[in-house]
Structure 1
Amino acid sequence: MTEQAAGRYQSIHILVNNAAVSGFGNIFELSVEEWDKAIAVNLSGMYYCAKFCAPYMRDQQYGNIINIASTRAFMSEPDTEPYSASKGGIFALTHALSISLGQHGIRVNSISPGWIDVSSWQKSSKAKQDILSEADHKQHPAGRVGLPGDIAQACLFLASHKAGFITGENLTVDGGMTRKMIYD
């Protein structure tokens, strides 16, 4: 993949690591294979993409890696252990890579999205607009559930020279939801 990208564009300047699987399930019933798959795709996959893109970035003394984590790295719901653990690992991987790669002009940051409505972005066979209630939106101090464009804008910022002094950091993009205390 990296060779194809570098061949087509003559280099690799920016990597956005965004592949993930859910990995939700009851700990008493979740198989070892389901755990391993979530860790392999969500965490190891990001490491390998960074590993194989980093030499191109090192050679040009410039690069930017943006890992998509999740607010689940910092807060949980029941039966989310594989997903939450993998996203927490991304947080740690991000700051570790930023230290290892910084000397080569490569910045590494992560974004932790909160509730993002991706229903209309799914494969056409599954695409349907979720019906979000007013209560869903009011859970967010920003007054709405997030959209994919909110995350895209954060990526564009972190990839820009405007963020040139930011590395090893996690940007939470969740409309303030993780800051709001919610009592059932």
Structure 2
Amino acid sequence: MRDRVVLITGGAQGIGRGIAQAVLAAGGSVMIGDLDQEAGKACLDEWQIGKRAMFRQLDVSRETSVRRWMDAALSRFGRIDGLVNNAGIANPCQGPLHELPLETWNRYLGTNLTGAFLCSKHALPALRIAGGAIVNIASTRALQSEADTEAYAASKGGLVALTHAMAVSAGPAVRVNAILPGWIATDAWQKPAQRRMPKLSRTDHSQHPAGRVGTPEDIGALAVYLLSPASGFVTGQHFVVDGGMTIKMQYA
């Protein structure tokens, strides 16, 4: 990733922060955007990596905010080689569908799906020049569900469909892929005031064929591959990273 610039939405905490740190470790530069200014500033303070990292507050559901964020990145770095659409509402369960307010439905779609559309829309001109890549962070809930998760599942399923549609439209200049994380423990990847070690039982780990719950590093490693020239023949795909949970038969 040396000399490459990657923009990461929701990049100040959780999976987004894990991806940002993976890009930095691989030699790249990052622009992270997040609603939480405290978390964003904490990243820069803790990384101490100088001009290779930048933070600006970002609301992916507002086009003016997205446009300002892109402009700031181009002003600092002069190019965009990668975009990671990670920002989203992470709480899947919102109660029975017949009681789900339209406002809540629209908020999930507006952040998780429309946010990825807006960021991709405004990054594509620079990505085409650089021959870059987009990575969308969806979820295994695009493929399987628990009860009362319709808004979240629909937004993540839409993100998978958006991925292959953009791959066709933006190719060959820009590649577009999606990562579908399963259970990723992000407790230790929050801002300092909320950071703690995850409380995970032996059962939590053992129900995964891989033998453990996932970490943000697991997602970051794949994201770096998909953003780099090493994956030059990979586009329009979605990759499940869930420790094998979605292939495991489960009988009561």
TM-score of the aligned structures, taking structure 2 as reference length? 0.70
Tell me the CA shift for residue 30 of structure 1.
2.2
* Equivalent of 1:113 in 178, 181, 184: 181
2:98 partner SS:
coil
- 1:36 aligns to 2:106 (yes or no): yes
Unaligned runs of 5+ in 2: 1-68
Distance in 2 (CA, whole Å) between partners of 1:131 and 1:24 is: 21
1:47-66, aligned counterparts within 5 Å?
47-60=117-130, 62-66=131-135
Q: CA deviation at 1:6?
A: 1.2
Residue 45 (structure 1) aligned to one of 115, 127, 134: 115
Checking the alignment, whether the CA contact within 8 Å between 1:137 and 1:145 is kept in structure 2 is yes
Answering whether residue 240 of structure 2 is matched by residue 169 of structure 1, we say no
2:162 to 93, 116, 124: 93
Deviates more, 1:38-47 or 1:125-134: 125-134
| Cα distance in 1 for residues equivalent to 2:251 and 2:224 | 35
Please give the secondary structure, in 2, of the residue aligned with 1:28.
helix
Whole-angstrom CA distance in 2 between matches of 1:106 and 1:120: 33
For 1:23 and 1:177, how far apart are their aligned partners in 2? 18
| Paired residue type of 1:28 | H
1 CA distance for matches of 2:244 and 2:163? 22
- 1:137 partner letter: H
Q: 1:131 is matched with which residue?
A: 199
Task: Please identify runs of 4+ aligned residues in structure 1 that moved more than 2 A.
Answer: 122-130
140-149 vs 14-23, which moves further? 14-23
Structure 1, unaligned runs of 5 or more: none
2:149 corresponds to which residue? 80
Percent identity of equivalent pairs: 48
CA RMSD of aligned residues (A): 1.2
Deviates more, 1:34-43 or 1:14-23: 14-23
Post-superposition CA distance 1:11-37 (Å, at most 9, x none): 101001100103521123321111100
CA contact (8 A) 1:112 1:170 kept: yes
Q: Within 2, Cα distance between the matches of 1:139 and 1:15?
A: 33
Distance 2:132 2:234 in 1: 13
2:30 is aligned to none
Q: Secondary structure at the match of 2:158?
A: helix
Distance (Å, rounded) in 1 between the aligned partners of 2:250 and 2:180:
19
Whole-angstrom distance in 1 between the partners of 2:239 and 2:185: 18
Whole-Å Cα distance in 1 between the matches of residues 147 and 216 of structure 2? 25
Q: Name the TM-score, length of structure 1 as normaliser.
A: 0.95
Higher mean displacement: 170-179 or 26-35 = 26-35
